[in-house]
């Protein structure tokens, strides 16, 4: 009888744990970051980016969209917008939601290629989303200062060409690199002049046992002379569960140092 009660207690605790993990996986957090750089041109004032990565099978919550509206100057999707089995109409809904915030930019992630990449490419193009596939986009202030956002294709699939993205940008100006895989920082050199890297891919380990997981928890750190933001991501892979690595999106405000 004692054994039966013990097993019953384990089942109840296991059920509560699964419910907790499910709720962590479907949270709608918008983390706010304020980053100051001495190289950031004061003539831009401030620039705020809404960054979302690893959407996978989720439909973006209206509460997330409303939190970012009126605050972000642009939206960046850090890869894995879709995966195998996701309906194209659902992807279109997510894109339209993000477009209601600000102009949208996109880099490819590994799971995007499980999807019909030609269909996804066509959808992005006709939706007016700017694809940063080993390319760069330039922004210029009224005084002629420049900001470049460089985007590379997926690193793990061998499709990334940082050299081409660098060629598409100019050597001067403030450079932001978007890479689905944060491992790109290991290939950065001082001459690349990259001040900020935005990435996802790792899901923060997704399920962490006693603080340990297959990948580092998402966050902000300095590495190889740049600032790296790695997001836990918005969706999940394999199972719709998280533990110790809550779902998240980001509002990142860039400012010059000293203001």
Q: How far is CA 204 from CA 13, 137, 187, in A?
A: 24, 28, 21
228/45 Cα distance (integer angstroms): 22
Please count the structural domains in the chain.
1
In the block, residue with structure tokens 């605050």: 71
Across all residues in the chain, what is the average pLDDT? 94
80/56 Cα distance (integer angstroms): 6
CB atoms within 10 A of CB 28: 16
pLDDT of residue 217: 96
Q: Which residues contact 104 (CB under 8 A, 6 or more apart)?
A: 74, 75, 76, 77, 95, 98, 127, 128, 129, 130
59/257 Cα distance (integer angstroms): 37
Average pLDDT over residues 162-171: 95
Asked if pLDDT for residue 204 goes beyond 90, the answer is yes
What would the two tokens of residue 186 be?
A: 């290991």
- Decide if 218 contacts 182 (C-beta within 8 A): no
Phi/psi region, residue 161 (left: phi>0; alpha: psi -120 to 50; beta: rest), is beta
166/15 Cα distance (integer angstroms): 50
pTM: 0.95
In this prediction, residue 14 has a pLDDT band, given cuts at 50, 70 and 90, of confident
The tens digit of pLDDT for each residue in 132-142 reads 999 999 999 99
pLDDT of residue 12: 78
The tens digit of pLDDT for each residue in 17-40 reads 899 999 999 999 999 999 999 999
CATH of the domain at 7: 3.60.21
Asked if pLDDT for residue 5 goes beyond 70, the answer is no
Q: State the residue range of the domain holding 15.
A: 2-256
The tens digit of pLDDT for each residue in 45-104 reads 999 999 999 999 999 999 999 999 999 999 999 999 999 999 999 999 999 999 999 999
- Length of the chain as a residue count: 259
68/91 Cα distance (integer angstroms): 19
Asked if pLDDT for residue 1 goes beyond 90, the answer is no
Asked if pLDDT for residue 116 goes beyond 90, the answer is no
In this prediction, residue 8 has a pLDDT band, given cuts at 50, 70 and 90, of confident
pLDDT of residue 6: 64
24/247 Cα distance (integer angstroms): 6
The tens digit of pLDDT for each residue in 208-242 reads 998 899 999 999 999 999 999 999 999 999 999 99
Average pLDDT over residues 148-176: 96
- Decide if 194 contacts 123 (C-beta within 8 A): no
What would the two tokens of residue 94 be?
A: 């997510």
Q: Tell me the pairing of strands 219-223 and 47-52.
A: unpaired
Alpha-helical regions (H) of the chain: 2-25, 62-68, 88-99, 117-126, 162-168
In the block, residue with structure tokens 């297959």: 214
């Amino acid at each position: 009888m004692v054994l039966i009660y013990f097993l019953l207690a384990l089942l109840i605790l296991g059920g509560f744990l699964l419910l907790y993990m499910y709720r962590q996986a479907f949270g709608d957090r918008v983390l706010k970051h304020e980053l100051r750089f001495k190289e950031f041109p004061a003539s831009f004032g401030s620039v705020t980016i809404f960054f979302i990565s690893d959407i996978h099978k989720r439909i973006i919550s209206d509460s997330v969209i409303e939190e970012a509206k009126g605050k972000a100057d642009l939206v960046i999707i850090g890869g894995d917008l879709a995966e195998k089995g996701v309906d194209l109409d659902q992807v279109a809904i997510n894109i339209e939601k993000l477009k209601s915030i600000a102009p949208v930019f996109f880099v490819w992630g590994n799971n995007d290629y499980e999807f019909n990449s030609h269909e996804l490419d066509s959808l992005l193009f006709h939706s007016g989303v700017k694809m940063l596939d080993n390319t760069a986009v330039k922004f210029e202030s009224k005084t002629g200062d420049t900001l470049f956002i460089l985007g590379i294709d997926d690193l793990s699939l061998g499709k990334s060409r940082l050299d081409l993205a660098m060629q598409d940008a100019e050597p001067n100006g403030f450079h932001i690199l978007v890479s689905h895989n944060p491992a790109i920082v290991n290939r950065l050199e001082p001459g690349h002049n990259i001040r900020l890297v935005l990435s996802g891919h790792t899901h923060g380990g997704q399920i962490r046992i006693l603080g340990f997981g297959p990948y580092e928890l998402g966050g902000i750190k300095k590495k190889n002379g740049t600032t790296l933001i790695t997001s836990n991501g918005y969706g999940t892979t394999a199972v719709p569960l998280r533990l110790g690595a809550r779902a998240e999106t980001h509002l990142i405000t860039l400012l010059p140092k000293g203001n």
